[in-house]
Structure 1
Amino acid sequence: MRVDKEAQIIDDIMEKIISKSIKPGEKLPSENRLSQDYDVPRMTARKALTTLEDRGYIYSKQGTGRFLKDASRPIQLHLTGKTSFTEKMKQAGYHLTTENMYCEPIAYDQKIYGILQANEAETVFNIGRLRYIDEEPIAIHQSFVREAKFLDIATEGQGILSMFAYYRSQGYTSFTSNQSYLSTSFPTSDEQKLLSCSSMVPLIVVESECVDVPSQDVLEYTKILYRSDKFKYDITMK
């Protein structure tokens, strides 16, 4: 059976990373050394190291070599529950900051309009926020709301950092979600720039809706993109 030497190099280095045989900051073997050890062309060794770099495990210093990155502490995130992302992060003691990127109307989308129970003639706004933990971008939050439900959202939406806080200012105090969906995707070029990640870092996509408990009205449809390499996900039902 033909052995994929590139995959073998990657697997062997990953095994050393996991077993801590290679320490953070330690220099990895050079392309020349790997090509000799595995009896492969230098290009094969280079591709293996580039893949590890794209996945976020190692980094390059020009003229010096490649080194193992420091292991960052995973951010624990409970994906269920009735507490906002802002409140979850503050309760966990993380230094969270939020940037409001835009508040703009969207083109008609059957799925989003259906969830919001909006007709085609209505205007739905998308409020996008970029979340930072310790000044590092870790998530993109998109909230879709009906203008008919929040008449001043076109102007007020430009300053919203927490949707739950905004809803409370509008008289809503109790929230729930009837359905939540979890999937994965790879970041687009725009998402890579916003989240400072490579195309090889998967994103965890969480889609849900925010429902006002007393009236059971759907207040928003939410789509959140999390950097998968920055979180430890808690899916325990509480």
Structure 2
Amino acid sequence: MYNKETQIIDEIMQLMVNKALTSGQKLPSENALAKKHNVPRMTVRNALTTLEERGYIYSVQGKGRFVKEKSMQIELHLTGKKSFTDKMEQLGYDLTTKNICCEKINYDEKMYRRLQADKDDSVYKIGRLRWIDDEPMAIHYSFVHAARFPSIAGDGPNITSMFAYYRKQGYHDFTSQKNVLSVTFPTEYEQKLLSCKRMVPLILVESDCLDADSKQVLEHTKILYRSDTFKYDISMDA
């Protein structure tokens, strides 16, 4: 049997699904909900805090809690030969990318093996934060073997598109392999970057990007997508 806190969460969620509560509408007060469910006010507060952490409602000091406007839902192919930049531009979205890091990583056996790097080699992580229509949506991390791209340490801080960088290095056609999808939750740092709460799930997609001609692994990629802003197409023909 559900506890009272879960019952309150489920009831409010059902009202949202049925459109009885819509974007911008004010929720009943903590006192009203406590009286309705015959529970202490703290039980109601915990339920509402959970809904706020999940990104369904927001609070305004002195005014109460309101239903959050639903974020845009972008249909995204998780596989394929096009870069994220190319996909978003093709769909007509206003994409902005900011480079957030370029750093040499410590030895990681799994990562080095995927990049065909020896233990004494250098591997760099290039991070980019993606905004779509001025809303932060995703964090992209690319792990690159410095022996394959000797100038990556100097070039890395200025890279906003890895595919554009690879084209300048003489690679033009790309493919992917070992696409793995999982669910995670944002760290405090990722919450700040993505402007999301700690209980908003993130979709983590990991894959290897290869040069289509030589089949050389150019990078290992880890991408964190906000789950409340994307719909995912996992068909292989994108």
Contact 2:79 2:176 in 1 (8 A): no
Relative to structure 1, the CA distance from residue 217 to residue 18 in structure 2 (aligned partners, 3 Å threshold; closer, same or farther) is same
Partner of 2:219: 220
Q: 1:213-232: CA deviations, max 9, x gaps?
A: 11111010000011111111
Deviation at 1:73, TM superposition (A): 1.9
Task: Give runs of aligned pairs for residues 24-103 of structure 1, distance below 5 A.
Answer: 24-103=23-102
Give the equivalent residue in structure 2 for 1:185: 184
Asked whether 1:14 is paired with 2:52, we answer no
| Amino acid in structure 2 at the alignment position of 1:211 | L
Runs of 4+ residues deviating >4 angstroms: none
SS at match of 1:127: strand
> Unaligned stretches of 5+ in structure 2?
none
1:84-142 Cα offsets, whole Å, 9 max, x none, are 00000100111110000111100001111000000011100100000111111111100
User: Which residue does the alignment assign to 1:126?
Assistant: 125
1:116 and 2:112 aligned: no
Contact 2:138 2:223 in 1 (8 A): yes
For 2:13 and 2:218, locate their aligned partners in 1 and report how far apart those are by CA, in whole Å.
45
TM-score of the aligned structures, taking structure 1 as reference length:
0.98
Which amino acid in 2 is paired with 1:202? P
Alignment-mate amino acid for residue 137 of structure 1: P
Q: Which runs of 5+ in 1 are unaligned?
A: none
C-alpha RMSD of the superposition: 0.9
Q: Is the 8 A contact 2:71 2:228 kept in 1?
A: no
**How far off is 1:3 after superposition?**
4.1
Q: Which moved more, 1:2-11 or 1:96-105?
A: 2-11
The percentage of aligned residue pairs carrying the same residue is 62
Distance 1:235 1:210 in 2: 16
Q: Which amino acid aligns with 1:205?
A: L
Q: Which amino acid aligns with 2:184?
A: S
TM-score (norm 2): 0.98
Q: Contact 2:125–2:141 (CA<8 Å) still a contact in 1?
A: yes
Q: Number of paired residues?
A: 237
Letter in 2 for 1:62: Q
Tell me the distance in 2 between the aligned counterparts of 1:38 and 1:70.
Answer: 26
2:161 aligns to what? 162
1:202 corresponds to: 201
Measure, in 2, the Cα distance between the counterparts of 1:178 and 1:28: 47
> Following TM superposition, by how much is the alpha carbon of 1:72 offset from its aligned partner in structure 2, in angstroms?
2.0
SS of residue matched to 2:177: coil
Q: Structure 1: how far apart are the matches of 2:79 and 2:94?
A: 21
